[in-house]
């Protein structure tokens, strides 16, 4: 860190002391930065002269950060600059930029990247505030091997959108959706578009699999040696999903375009209900369709749909020489003031419990639905091995729904490939 400005301490007869101070400062300025993976220093470092932090966020978050900037600066005495950069670009460049001293001090990352970034020494261990502002589910999202590497900032969950002109109330069970599928009102030839869900996307179908007892990794998502994506429950779930693919238009099998197909059918009034994300709300609203949102209906086995709980965390770069300031910024970003601003400006669901409670007293149907579904969600495993899940599971689902092999055969093969990828890259 830079030495403290000592010019105001000069006085007659103090030249010897000045020389000692300059020597100490010179030594301090040559001290190496903490190595990646070591976290913040165990003892407080002196305040730097340059108390300026940089936060890297995508352009969609710039207005939000600008709105809380002056409050943070007034409360902490630190200055804040904004580096407008997409998350993936930030993470890709952070090891080189950080080592060169030009990377950001703080950024936002998806929860499922926490373990990978922590194990690589890219993000620093941090502290949680002592005011119980987070739900335990949120804390799990930012924890890795018993340590905390960020603070929960945003929560997300997929939800059900339903057409208010076609339905008098949101479906509460999948039995109701199946009954809709029998109606000729939603027929396209011998196929139905009454209800649509891009279940060949692993992120979307996981809530169905988990509701039937399947899981990604054992020991609450921490044991990559135990994969539960082909157990009896997972097979039953995917077999149920396949009954829908057998009734849907064949275009639903194309994972590259079926998301658009789902939205197009819903916004043109052909489809009564769909499963989609809160990120789709703006596009749906712009079409003028009369829609409502709710949690996803109860599954045929009587259990709840249990999707991955998504969202983002604010984290501190382990290359930053201002990690104490970064900690202050994380505390401020997750405070009631900042989290309320996040909701007001972005209509995203904040992680702060107090702001959650306030939102639930209002009439924001979308956010209340996300909160209700998130409460039923499971944290996505954030260990590094999770990165192999998406591709191998996507292939397994395609094979299962195409029908050339049985669902069990497709899942067995997918799990074998998943385990093989883990073994070759992480052991």
Residue-wise pLDDT for 197-252, tens only, equals: 999 999 999 999 999 999 999 999 999 999 999 999 999 999 999 999 999 999 99
Who has greater pLDDT, 47 or 171? 171
Say how many residues make up the chain.
427
The answer, yes or no, to whether residue 370 has pLDDT greater than 60, is yes
| Domain range 159-306+383-426, CATH architecture | 3-Layer(aba) Sandwich (3.40)
Who has greater pLDDT, 175 or 35? 175
Burial class (CB in 10 A: 0-12, 13-18, 19+), 20: exposed
* pLDDT recorded at residue 119: 93
The answer, yes or no, to whether residue 427 has pLDDT greater than 90, is no
pLDDT digits 0-9 by tens, 278-288: 999 999 999 99
Percent of the chain clearing pLDDT 90 (strictly above): 81
CB environment 401-422: b (16+ within 10 A), e (fewer):
beeeeebbebbbbbbebbbebb
Residue partners of 30: CB distance under 8 A and separation at least 6:
none
Q: Do 110 and 87 touch, CB atoms closer than 8 A? A: yes
Average pLDDT over residues 141-170: 96
* pLDDT recorded at residue 98: 86
CA angle, 179 then 182 then 187, to 5°: 135
pLDDT digits 0-9 by tens, 389-399: 999 999 999 99
Q: Where are the domains of the chain?
A: 47-156+310-374, 159-306+383-426
What predicted TM-score, i.e. pTM, was given to this entire model? 0.83
The band of 356, judged by pLDDT with boundaries at 50, 70 and 90, is confident
* pLDDT recorded at residue 40: 43
Q: Is the dihedral of CA 247, 249, 250, 255 positive or negative?
A: negative
| Domain range 47-156+310-374, CATH architecture | 3-Layer(aba) Sandwich (3.40)
The answer, yes or no, to whether residue 146 has pLDDT greater than 50, is yes
Residue ranges of the alpha helices (H) in 293-406? 323-333, 336-346, 353-360, 365-374, 389-402
Asked if the domains 47-156+310-374 and 159-306+383-426 are classified in one and the same CATH topology, the answer is yes
Average pLDDT over residues 158-175: 98
Percent of the chain clearing pLDDT 70 (strictly above): 89
The answer, yes or no, to whether residue 305 has pLDDT greater than 70, is yes
Q: How far is CA 29 from the centre of its chain?
A: 38
User: DSSP labels for 12-55?
Assistant: TT-HHHHHHHHHHHHHHHTSPPPPTTS-S-SSPPPPPS--EEEE
d(CA 34, CA 257): 46
Average pLDDT over residues 137-151: 94
């Amino acid at each position: 860190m830079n030495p403290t400005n000592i010019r105001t301490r000069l006085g007659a007869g103090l030249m010897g002391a000045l020389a000692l101070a300059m020597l100490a400062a010179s030594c301090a300025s040559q001290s190496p930065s903490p190595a990646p993976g070591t976290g913040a220093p165990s003892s407080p470092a002196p305040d730097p002269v340059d108390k300026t932090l940089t936060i890297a966020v995508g352009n969609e978050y710039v207005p939000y950060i600008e709105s809380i900037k002056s409050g943070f600066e007034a409360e902490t005495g630190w200055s804040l600059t904004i580096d407008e950069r997409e998350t993936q670009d930030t993470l890709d460049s952070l090891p080189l930029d950080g080592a060169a001293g030009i990377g950001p001090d703080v950024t936002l990352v998806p929860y499922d990247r926490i373990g990978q970034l922590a194990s690589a020494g890219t993000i620093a261990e941090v502290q949680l505030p002592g005011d119980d502002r987070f739900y335990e589910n949120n804390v799990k999202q930012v924890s890795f091997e018993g340590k905390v590497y960020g603070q929960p900032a945003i929560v997300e969950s997929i939800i059900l959108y339903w057409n208010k002109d076609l339905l008098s109330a949101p479906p509460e069970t999948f039995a109701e959706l199946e009954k809709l599928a029998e109606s000729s009102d939603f027929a396209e030839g011998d196929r139905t578009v009454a209800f649509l869900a891009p279940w060949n996307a692993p992120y979307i179908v996981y809530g169905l699999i988990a509701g039937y007892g399947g899981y990604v990794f054992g020991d609450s998502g921490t044991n990559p040696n135990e994969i539960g994506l082909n157990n009896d429950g997972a097979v039953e779930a995917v077999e149920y999903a396949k009954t829908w693919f057998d009734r849907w238009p064949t275009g639903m099998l194309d994972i590259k375009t079926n998301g658009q197909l789902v939205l197009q059918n819903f916004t043109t009034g052909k489809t009564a209900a769909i499963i989609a994300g809160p990120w789709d709300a703006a596009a749906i609203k712009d079409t003028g369709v009369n829609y409502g949102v709710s949690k996803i209906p109860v599954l045929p086995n009587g259990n709840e749909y249990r999707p991955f709980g998504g969202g983002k965390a604010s984290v501190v770069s382990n290359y930053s020489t201002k990690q104490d300031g970064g900690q202050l910024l994380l505390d401020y970003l997750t405070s009631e003031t900042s989290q309320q601003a996040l909701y007001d400006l972005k209509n995203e669901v904040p992680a702060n419990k107090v702001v959650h409670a306030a939102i639930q007293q209002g009439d924001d149907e979308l956010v209340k639905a996300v909160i209700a579904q998130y409460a039923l969600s499971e944290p996505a495993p954030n260990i590094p091995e999770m990165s192999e899940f998406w591709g191998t599971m996507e292939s397994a689902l395609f094979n299962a729904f195409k029908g050339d092999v049985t669902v069990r055969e497709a899942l067995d093969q997918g799990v074998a490939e998943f385990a093989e990828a883990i073994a070759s890259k992480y052991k």
